[in-house]
Amino acid sequence: MATSNHQTPMSKQHLDKVLDAQRKAYYNQGIPSLGQRLETLNKLLGILRTNESAIAKAISNDFGNRAHQETRLAELFLCIDGIKYTRKRLKKWMRPQKRSVSMWLLGARNTVVPQPLGVVGIVVPWNYPLFLCISPLIGALAAGNRCMIKMAANSSHLSQLLQGLFAEQFSEDMLTIVPDAIGSEFSALAFDHLIFTGSGASGRQVMRAAADNLTPVTLELGGKSPTIIAPDYSMTKAAERLLFSKCINAGQTCVAPDYLFVPEGKVDLFITAAKAIVGSRYPDIEHADYTSIINDQAYRRLKSTLADATDQGATATALVPNSVANNVTRKFPPTLLTGVTGAMRVMQEEIFGPILPIMTYQHIDEVLDYINGQDRPLALYLFSDDKAMQAKVINKTRSGGVCLNETTLHVGQQDMPFGGVGESGMGQYHGAEGFMAMSKLRPIFKQARFPSLSMMYPPYGKRFDSIIKIMLRS
């Protein structure tokens, strides 16, 4: 497990000092222009493009091993694509919006202007440390804010790298990573907006801390995302797609398929397909293409979760031939679980690893009843070409997002908002929604030179009564 090079955490006094400097710069330098915001985004883009290899290496060091290809696909590409998408549309997003005016206020004008909130705090988890840092940062910077970022302790190599790269391009009062900040102290700062990605338990603590400052929060909290294969859909095709998302990053993904429903009588068909698919992709889990579990604690938790299930009667099927969990490299084999029950921890907690429980159903209503009996998930996945089935599942469930005939890819769509609902989070970002989430839509009313309202000033009399009578009936 990687450890930070810093001996002591950044003090509360230092955090307050950085926040105060950013807030003063926000007021003293005014709202940044389109050109200034584009320059900031271009600097960020330059950092990513120039340091691709160093970033991938740092992330791999933090995990113990993660394929550079996975970092380039799931993190670097999405970050770069997000910046390019935002640059093209920022001028439109910043444009003042004309709004209608009451017909009784002749000559007046209404305008809504997106303005930056001020200073945005971003708490970044370890599982996709670059993407979950840069993605909300894009929206915050595009909206004209200044940002303080707290990286996860498990991301010490990447944190140190980004801290230095950011310092070369940005002043501390504009954008900075605060090294080794204590989470509770960071969340308690009087930010103008706070974005947190992590567990539900930590999310509650963050929200409590933010409440003291009335700081609005965006929480992305994960959860148990269900996957359904409908009777009309190919088991092999579904397995090819969902197992890619389940195995990438060794399942350490907040929107990874967490449990699977297949039609009764088709479990063996799915297992056969899954063995062939995963075995061809990862002939050996010690291969560099397969990611290590982030630390010993998470590795032991997965072993314990699997043991709890098998001790209670579940059957485990390893998908990579001759693979066993390795205590040294923290490689944990992709594993299917059948015969699971609600009493098992694997069906109660977010798995966050390469274990996939399978349940069967006879009718889709059984599946919907089960899903609706759990906390609302961050994502829901359905494999079906039946439009009636698609509509039924979408209309009768609630989740942060949905994929049809695929999993996880909705997260990488720049023109769609991303966020949870209920236990899986609140608020959303990405694209235009991210820009708006980190902006204040400031309404501006401009009165006409000769206001029609003057006809209703006191002293009230017959003219007022006549006018208000017409207004109330119009």
Residue 462 tokens read as: 């017959």
Q: Residue 181 in contact with residue 7, Cβ under 8 Å?
A: no
User: Pairing state of beta strands 355-361 and 335-338?
Assistant: parallel
DSSP, collapsed to helix, strand or coil, labels residue 56 as helix
Which segments of 156-234 does DSSP mark as H helices, in order?
Answer: 156-169, 183-187, 200-211
Residue 299 φ then ψ, to 5°: -65, -45
Q: Residue 231 in contact with residue 263, Cβ under 8 Å?
A: yes
Q: Which residues contact 182 (CB under 8 A, 6 or more apart)?
A: 9, 10, 12
| Separation between Cα atoms, residue 394 and residue 8, nearest integer Å | 49
DSSP string, 62-82: HHS---HHHHIIIIIHHHHHH
Torsion sign across C-alpha atoms 413, 415, 418, 421: negative
Active-site residue, selected from the candidate residues 220, 247, 350, 403: 220
Cα R_g (the chain), whole angstroms: 26
Q: Residue 29 belongs to what H/E stretch?
A: helix 12-29
Residue 106 tokens read as: 């002749």
Instruction: Please say if 247 is a catalytic residue.
Output: no
DSSP, collapsed to helix, strand or coil, labels residue 31 as coil
DSSP string, 91-129: HHHHS-EEE---TTSTT-EEEEEEEE-SEEEEE--SSST
| Separation between Cα atoms, residue 258 and residue 224, nearest integer Å | 5
Active-site residue, selected from the candidate residues 133, 147, 247, 254: 254
| Separation between Cα atoms, residue 251 and residue 66, nearest integer Å | 12
Nearest to 255 by CA among 128, 378, 397: 378
Instruction: Please say if 350 is a catalytic residue.
Output: no
The catalytic site residues sit at 220, 254
